[in-house]
Structure 1
Amino acid sequence: MVSRETVPVPELAARVFGDRFDLAVRFADLLIEHGVERGLIGPREVERVWDRHMLNSAVVADLLPPSVSVVDVGSGAGLPGLPMAIARPDVSITLLEPMARRVAWLTEVVEELDLDVEVVRGRAEEKAVREQLAGADVVTARAVAPLAKLAGWCLPLVRPEGQLLALKGSSAAEELERDAQAVAAVGGVNGRIVVCGEGVLEVPTTVVVVDRAPGRDGKRRRRKDRG
């Protein structure tokens, strides 16, 4: 049986998470211990929590400018939002998730780890969510939807000249070409592929980066007061 004790922590995790490595280990332990029973990850994913989920998500934080606001759409188990929040405490992160049981999980983890992260229940395409969260500097999404749908849902949350970061797999280039017109129709420009974690991860993370065109309607979201 796979447990926290039988899933080794890669040495490079300390390099990626720095002085917040212990927090990353605690989050990974929670995923390993509760992820399957709570429907957050599949049974085969437990042994790959570090390389496939924790590190795959955390390296994307390298794309974030200092002190930006981020909305993680369809956060699910907290990926990529929570590893990014651990790796980059200067960034203001909101986890957006529609399913109540997953919202409960995210809330528990944020409280357990004492992270300065907001959890919101809802869908990116909902009017109330857009009114609440529009104007983010960056919106992230991992394994949520094809790029055309994702852009339609997410770009309205992004401030003008902000970015959508969509974590994708081997189909990234194909999606970017196929959905170019749909992305442009909702204000997406300069679509490109960026690879994160080269020289660090065995399988680097592929990210489709889309800018939101300047001059579109949107309000800049106020950062939370960190005291």
Structure 2
Amino acid sequence: MTDPLETPAAPSGAAAVFGERLPIATAFVAILADTGVSHGLIGPREVPRLWDRHVLNCAVVEDAFPSGAMVIDVGSGAGLPGLALAIARSDLDVHLVEPMLRRTKWLSETVSALHLDSVTVHRGRAEEFAGVLSAPWVTARAVARLDKLARWCVPLLGDEGTLVAMKGRTAADELAQDRPALTTLGLLDATVTEHGGAVLEEPVLSVDLVFCPRGGTAHRPHASRRVRKAR
């Protein structure tokens, strides 16, 4: 196991994102630096960057979701972004979907250790939950290209549901390249959104895709949350 002393200290921006739940976020980072490494979920070289590159990087996307939203995290792995979102936003109903047994066991143990009652862990591939699990919001981080990710996630979206796909600097280019395939899947409304510009050196980008299976333009009563830059 990684020596707990190697766990990095919380950066100044963490308090602005996690508020009074910062101690829970700190405990999560400590778990990632310990059993997250020993279970092969986090590489040892990532430990010094756990806050900025992973936990805080994921948590800033919380501004994509309205109050009380149900959110499915596809391919949750080490709980990124799902657990980071659940810590930052106690009002969210978060569902972690992960196919690997050892990862789901680790996720369940971590959820229990952090007392995150708003989180449910599901073992299986996203496509196996079609018709079983559905939500207005689905998210994923570094799982696959947009076209492939969308094929997995669309069956989990309700009408006018939104896929919030965390992407890197090439988000706009990937969206442009995959737009025809996304349109075929019923993802007609797309926006690239910045998050965390006030607390991260480089803002996080998400591609937000609205599912509108019957054609036309989806009605978005909370659209203003999507086009603004994050706090």
User: Could you tell me the TM-score, scaled by structure 1's length?
Assistant: 0.90
Instruction: Give the C-alpha shift of residue 8 in structure 1.
Output: 1.9
Who is 2:120 aligned against? 118
SS at match of 1:57: helix
SS at match of 2:169: coil
Measure, in 2, the Cα distance between the counterparts of 1:199 and 1:15. Answer: 9
Instruction: Show CA shifts across 1:81-111 (max 9, x none).
Output: 0010011111100000000000001000011
Q: Is residue 2:74 matched to residue 1:58?
A: no
Q: Is residue 2:208 matched to residue 1:206?
A: no
Query: Is the Cα–Cα contact under 8 Å of residues 172 and 193 in structure 1 kept in the other structure?
Result: yes
Taking a change above 3 Å as real, the CA distance of residues 189 and 3 of structure 1, as seen in their structure-2 partners, is farther
Who is 1:171 aligned against? 170
SS at match of 1:138: strand
Letter in 2 for 1:77: A
Measure, in 2, the Cα distance between the counterparts of 1:37 and 1:121. Answer: 21
Measure, in 1, the Cα distance between the counterparts of 2:179 and 2:12. Answer: 39
Measure, in 2, the Cα distance between the counterparts of 1:36 and 1:110. Answer: 17
Instruction: Give the C-alpha shift of residue 37 in structure 1.
Output: 1.5
Instruction: Show CA shifts across 1:12-34 (max 9, x none).
Output: 21111011111101001000112
Instruction: Give the C-alpha shift of residue 2 in structure 1.
Output: 6.5
Measure, in 1, the Cα distance between the counterparts of 2:214 and 2:75. Answer: 27
Q: Is residue 2:22 matched to residue 1:24?
A: no
Measure, in 2, the Cα distance between the counterparts of 1:2 and 1:120. Answer: 27
Who is 1:220 aligned against? none
Who is 1:183 aligned against? 182
What are structure 1's unaligned runs of at least 5 residues? 217-227
Measure, in 1, the Cα distance between the counterparts of 2:213 and 2:181. Answer: 17
Matches within 5 A, 1:128-139: 129-134=129-134, 136-139=135-138
Instruction: Give the C-alpha shift of residue 172 in structure 1.
Output: 0.9
Instruction: Show CA shifts across 1:57-104 (max 9, x none).
Output: 000001100111100000000000001001111110000000000000
Query: Is the Cα–Cα contact under 8 Å of residues 2 and 37 in structure 2 kept in the other structure?
Result: no
Measure, in 2, the Cα distance between the counterparts of 1:130 and 1:115. Answer: 25
Matches within 5 A, 1:12-91: 12-91=13-92
Who is 2:106 aligned against? 105
Instruction: Give the C-alpha shift of residue 215 in structure 1.
Output: 4.2
Query: Is the Cα–Cα contact under 8 Å of residues 81 and 140 in structure 2 kept in the other structure?
Result: yes
Measure, in 2, the Cα distance between the counterparts of 1:198 and 1:119. Answer: 30
Instruction: Give the C-alpha shift of residue 190 in structure 1.
Output: 1.4
What are structure 2's unaligned runs of at least 5 residues? 216-231
